[in-house]
Amino acid sequence: MMPEAILVLTHTDEAGSSLTKSSLETVTAGKTLADRLETPLVIGILATDSNAAAKSLPGLNARILGVSGEAFEKPQYAADVAACEALCNAAQATVILAPQSSRMARVAAGLAHRISGSIDTHITSIQGDEAIEVTRWLYRQRIEATITRSVRPWILLIEGGVCAAYEGHEGEGELEQVAVELPELRTNVIGTRAPAHSGQTIRPDAKMLFVAGAGWTKKQADGQVHAGEAGELILSFLQKTSASLGSSKSLVDQGGDGQPVLPFLSHMNQVGQTGATPRHPKGLATCCHGEEPHVVGWRFITERRAISLDPNCGWARGKADVVYIADAFKVIAKVNELLALKA
C-alpha cells in the first residue's frame, strides 16, 4: 500500500487571531492518525494572518503551511475553496482532515472535486489497523456506518467533540506561506446576525438540558395542583444552573387554550419527535414519563437522568442512565437549596 501523507486544514475564529476549537480538535485527530501510521503531518492554515494563527500550535512536530490575506477574513466560498486547493497542492497529502465547521463544510466538497479526490463528512471516529476506517451516521443519526475508500486524496470532515483540542507547549514551527490565485470575488460577507432569542427557549450552548414534564401540573399526593410552586422551582433551577429548558408535549399542549399553565413555556421548548432534538452533554427529566415520542428528542443527550414517581416509566426501561423514583417537587427544592449554598 502507498504510504499516506496527512494534511489538516484549519482556520481562525471570528476574531481572526487564533485557530478555532474545532480546528485544534482536528489537529489532534490528524496528529493521532499520523503517529499511528508513522507518516508526516502537515497543517494548513486559512487566516488573514496565518503566521499569527500558527501561534495556536506550539510544539507541534509538523510542517505548517498558511495562506494569508484580507480575502480570508470572512468565510466565503470562492476565496476559501481556492485557498484550500492551494494548500492541498502544496502539501500533496493523501488524507486531508478538516473540522466539520460551517466554513469548511461550505467548501470541502467543492475542494474534493477540484483536487479529484473523494470526501466523507460528519466523521465521528477514525479507526482501522492499517487501512483508514471512519464512522459516520446516516439517515438523520439513525444508522451508523463504517466506511473506507480507495480513492486518494480523501477528505474527511471531523465532527466537533470527537477529539480533545490540541494543546502544545514549547516551540514554534516555521510557517511557509502559500500563494493563492483568487478568482474575481462576487460575494461580499457583510457580517453575522444573532437571531432574536426569547428568554427561555432551548439554549444550544448550555451544558445541560432540563426537561419539565406534565407531572409538574398534575394533581399531587394532596389532591391539589401546585403549578405556581412548580414554576418557581423550575425557574430557580434554570437560573442556578444556566440549563436549557425543554418540555414534553403534554406540558406545552396544556397551554393550548387560554392561559398557559406554566407561562414561560411554549412549543419552542418541546423536545421530541414533533419537537426539537437538542445537543447537550447532560439531561435531567423531571415529572416526565419518558415515552418514546419524547425520548427520540434525546438522541444527542449524552448522560441522562430522570426523576419520576412511576417506577414503570419509560426512563426506567433503558432510556436513562439513572432514574430516581421520587417526588420531583421535593428533590428539586433541595437541589436548588444545595446549588444556592455551594454557589
Ligand X SMILES: Cc1cc2nc3c(=O)[nH]c(=O)nc-3n(C[C@H](O)[C@H](O)[C@H](O)COP(=O)(O)OP(=O)(O)OC[C@H]3O[C@@H](n4cnc5c(N)ncnc54)[C@H](O)[C@@H]3O)c2cc1C
**Interface of this chain with ligand X, residues 252 to 291, rule: CB under 6 A:** 270-275, 287-289, 291
Residue-wise DSSP of 315-326 = GGTTT-SEEEES
Q: Which amino acid is at 97?
A: L
Distance CA 9, CA 190 (A): 24
CA atoms within 13 A on the CB side of 104: 30
| CA quadruple 185, 187, 191, 195: dihedral sign | negative
Q: How many residues bind another protein (CB under 8 A)?
A: 101
Measured distance CA(328)–CA(233) in Å, rounded? 10
Q: Residue 275 binds which one of ligand X, another protein, none, with CB within 5 to 8 A depending on kind? A: ligand X
Residue 305 contacts another protein per CB under 8 A: yes
**What are the cell numbers at 174?**
516555521
Q: How far is CA 132 from CA 10, 43, 129, 141, 285, in A?
A: 21, 19, 7, 22, 39
Q: What is the CA radius of gyration of the chain?
A: 24
User: Least distance in Å: CB of 174 to another protein?
Assistant: 30
Report, in Å, the least distance between residue 168 CB and another protein: 22
Taking the complex as a whole, the smallest distance from the CB of residue 68 to another protein amounts, in Å, to 21
CB of 314 to another protein, least distance (A): 7
The answer to whether residue 294 forms part of the interface with ligand X (CB under 6 A) is yes
Beta bridge partners of 72: none
Q: Is 296 in the site for another protein (CB under 8 A)?
A: yes
By CB under 8 A, tell whether 151 contacts another protein. Answer: yes
Cβ-in-10-Å burial (0-12, 13-18, 19+) of 164 comes to: exposed
Which option in another protein, ligand X, none does residue 213 bind, with CB closer than 5 to 8 A by kind?
A: ligand X
Nearer to ligand X, 88 or 307 (CB): 307
- CB-based contact 53:68 (threshold 8 Å): no
Q: State the binding partner of 81 from another protein, ligand X, none, CB within 5 to 8 A by kind.
A: another protein
User: What is the crossing angle of helices 328-342 and 227-241, to 10°?
Assistant: 30
Residues 206-235 that bind ligand X (CB under 6 A): 213-215, 218, 220
Are 336 and 233 in contact by the 8 Å Cβ rule? The answer is: yes
Give dist(CA 97, CA 229) in Å, integer: 51
- Answer with the entry of ligand X, another protein, none that 288 interacts with (C-beta below 5 to 8 A by kind): ligand X
Q: Which stretch binds another protein (CB under 8 A): 38-46, 61-69, 165-173, 179-187?
A: 179-187
56 binds, among ligand X, another protein, none (CB under 5 to 8 A by kind): none
User: Smallest gap, in angstroms, from Cβ of residue 138 to ligand X?
Assistant: 22
Q: Does residue 298 belong to the site contacting another protein (CB under 8 A)? A: no
Member of 71, 235, 268, 339 binding another protein (CB under 8 A): 339
Binding site for ligand X (CB under 6 A): 213-215, 218, 220, 248-251, 270-275, 287-289, 291, 293-294, 297, 307-310, 313, 327-329
